[in-house]
Chain A
Amino acid sequence: MSEQEPAHGHGASREGDRTSVRADERRSPGERPSPDERTSLGDGPRSGDRAQYGVCAFLALLGALVIVDALSITPLTSSNDPIGPRSVPVLLGVALLVVAVVYGVDVARGGRGEPEAGEDVDLSTAMDWRTVLLLAGAFAANAVLIEPLGWVISGTVMFWGAAFALGNRHHVRGLMIAVVLSLVTFYVFAIGLGVNLPAGVLQGIL
Chain B
Amino acid sequence: MDNLGHLLDGFVNVLSPGNLLMALLGVVAGTAVGVLPGIGPAMTVALLLPVTYGMDPTQAFILFAGIYYGGMYGGSTTSILLNTPGESSSVITSIEGNKMAKAGRAAQALATAAIGSFVAGTIATLLLVFVTPLVVTFAVGLGAPEYFAIMLLAFVAVSVTLGSSRVRGFASLLLGLVIGLIGIDGVTGRQRLTLGIPQLADGIDVVVVAVGIFAVGEALWVAAHMRRKAMPVIPVGRPWLGAEDWRRSWRPWLRGTALGFPFGALPGSGAEIPTFLSYAVEKRLARRPEEFGHGAIEGVAGPEAANNASAAGTLVPMLAIGLPTTATAAVMLAAFESYGIQPGPLLLERQPALVWTLIASLFIGNLLLLVLNLPLAPAWAKLLRVPRPYLYAGILFFASMGAYAVNSQPLDLILLLLLGLLGFAMRRFGLPVLPLIVGVILGPRAELQGRRSLQLSGGDLSGLVGGPLSIAIYAVLVILLAWPLIKRFVPGKAL
Residues of chain A touching chain B, judged by Cβ–Cβ distance below 8 Å, are: 1, 4, 7-8, 11-12, 15-26, 28-31, 51-52, 55, 59, 62, 65-66, 69-70, 73-74, 76-77, 79-85, 88-89, 92, 95-96, 99-100, 102-103, 106, 111-123, 125, 127-129, 131-132, 134-136, 138-140, 142-144, 146-147, 151, 155, 158-160, 162-168, 174, 177-178, 181-182, 185, 189, 193-198
Contact (Cβ within 8 A) A76 B188: yes
Taking CB atoms, residues of chain B closer than 8 Å to A132 are: 220, 223-224, 424
Q: A30-B84, A136-B421 are in contact. Are A81 and B451 (CB under 8 A)?
A: yes
* Structural contact, B430 and A196, CB atoms closer than 8 A: no
Q: Which residues of A contact B85 (CB under 8 A)?
A: 25, 28-29, 119
On whether the beta carbons of B429 and A55 are closer than 8 Å, the reply is yes
**Which of B219, B416, B420 counts the most A-chain CB atoms under 10 A from its CB?**
B219
**Interface pair A18/B174, CB less than 8 Å apart:** no
Question: Are B84's CB and A117's CB within 8 A?
Answer: yes
Interface string of B171-186 (1 = CB under 8 A from A): 1001101100100010
Residue contact B413 to A21, C-beta cutoff 8 Å? no
Render B214-228 as a binary contact track against A, CB cut-off 8 A, 1 for contact: 001011111111111
B200 to chain A minimum Cβ distance, whole angstroms, is 12
Could you tell me if A135 and B459 are in contact, using CB atoms closer than 8 angstroms? no
| 6 A–B contacts from the bound complex (CB under 8 Å) | A113-B430, A119-B227, A120-B37, A162-B219, A162-B393, A168-B393
The reply to whether B455 and A80 contact each other, CB–CB distance below 8 Å, is: yes
Cβ contacts under 8 Å, A164 to chain B: 389
Q: Is the CB of B165 within 8 A of A82?
A: no
**Closest chain A residue, CB of each to CB of B227:** A122
Bound-state CA distance A95–B177 (Å) is 11
Contacts of A117 in B (CB 8 A): 84
Q: Chain B residues near A15 (CB, 8 Å)?
A: 276-277, 279-280, 283
- Are A139 and B193 in contact (CB-based, < 8 A)? no
B91 partner residues in chain A, CB cutoff 8 A: 24-25, 28-29
Q: Does B425 contact A (CB under 8 A)?
A: yes
B431: Cβ under 8 A from any A Cβ: yes
Chain B residues contacting A118 (CB-CB under 8 Å) are: 37-38, 84, 218, 221-222
CA distance A139 to B95 in the complex (A): 37
Which partner residue on chain A sits nearest B270 by CB separation? A21
What 0/1 pattern do residues 386 to 427 of B give for CB contact below 8 A with A?
011110111011101100110010100110110011001101
Closest A residue by C-beta to B429: A113
* Contact pattern, B 269-285, Cβ under 8 Å of A = 1, otherwise 0: 00011001101100100
Complex Cα distance, B98 from A28, in Å, reads: 12
In the complex, what residues of B have CB within 8 A of residue A125's CB? 225-226, 228
Residues of B75-129 contacting chain A, CB below 8 A: 78, 82-86, 88, 91-92, 94-95, 98-99, 102
Contacts of A76 in B (CB 8 A): 188, 190
Q: Are A59 and B396 in contact (CB under 8 A)?
A: no
Which listed residue (B165, B413, B427, B454) contacts A146, Cβ 8 A?
B413
Judge whether B394 and A131 touch: CB under 8 Å: no
Q: Write out the residue numbers on chain B whose beta carbons fall within 8 Å of the beta carbon of A131.
A: 223-224, 226
B393 touches A159 (CB 8 A): yes
A163 to B396 Cα, complex, angstroms: 10
Complex formed: what's the CA distance from A189 to B53 in Å?
Answer: 12
Report the separation of the CA atoms of residues A24 and B493 in the bound assembly, to the nearest whole angstrom.
19
Residues of A within 8 A of B50 (CB): 195
A176 to chain B: closest CB distance in Å?
11
Counting chain B CB atoms within 10 Å of each CB, the highest count among A30, A120, A182 belongs to A120
Q: CB-CB < 8 A to A88: which residues of B?
A: 181, 447, 450
Which residues of chain A are near B177, meaning CB under 8 Å? 92
**B168 touching A103 by the CB < 8 A rule?**
yes
With contact pairs A121-B225, A144-B410 given, residues A168 and B387 touching in the complex (Cβ less than 8 Å): yes
Asked if B231 and A114 make an inter-chain contact with CB atoms under 8 angstroms apart, the answer reads no
Interface size class of B (residues with CB under 8 A): 35 or more
Partner of A119, one of B86, B92, B396: B86
Nearest 5 interchain pairs by C-beta: A113-B430, A82-B459, A119-B37, A143-B413, A168-B389
Residues of A within 8 A of B164 (CB): 20, 22-23, 26, 113-114
What are the residues of chain A within 8 A of B225 when measuring CB–CB? 115, 121-123, 125, 127-128
Docked-complex contact A82 and B181, CB < 8 angstroms: no
A residues near B401, Cβ cutoff 8 Å: 151, 155, 185, 189, 195, 197
- A167 lies within 8 A of B78 (CB): no
Contact with A along B355-399 (1 / 0, CB 8 A): 000000000000000000000000000000001111011101110
Q: How far is the CB of A77 from chain B (nearest CB, A)?
A: 8
Within B244-286, the residues touching A (CB, 8 Å) are 272-273, 276-277, 279-280, 283
Q: Which of B6-14, B155-163, B306-314, B465-473 contacts A (4 or more CB under 8 A)?
A: B155-163
The 8 A CB mask of B448-477 against A (1 = contact, 0 = none) is: 001100110011000000000000000000
Minimum CB–CB distance from A194 to chain B (whole Å) comes to: 5
B54 interface hit (Cβ, 8 Å)? yes
User: What chain B residues lie within 8 Å of A4 (beta carbons)?
Assistant: 99
**B432 interface hit (Cβ, 8 Å):** yes
Q: How far is the CB of B335 from chain A (nearest CB, A)?
A: 16
Inter-chain CA distance A149–B459, complex, in Å, is 54
Find out whether the CB atom of A196 lies under 8 angstroms from the CB atom of B405.
Answer: yes
B238 interface residue per 8 A CB criterion: no
Alpha-carbon distance A197/B139, docked complex (angstroms): 42
Q: Find A12's partner among B175, B226, B292 (CB 8 Å cutoff).
A: B292
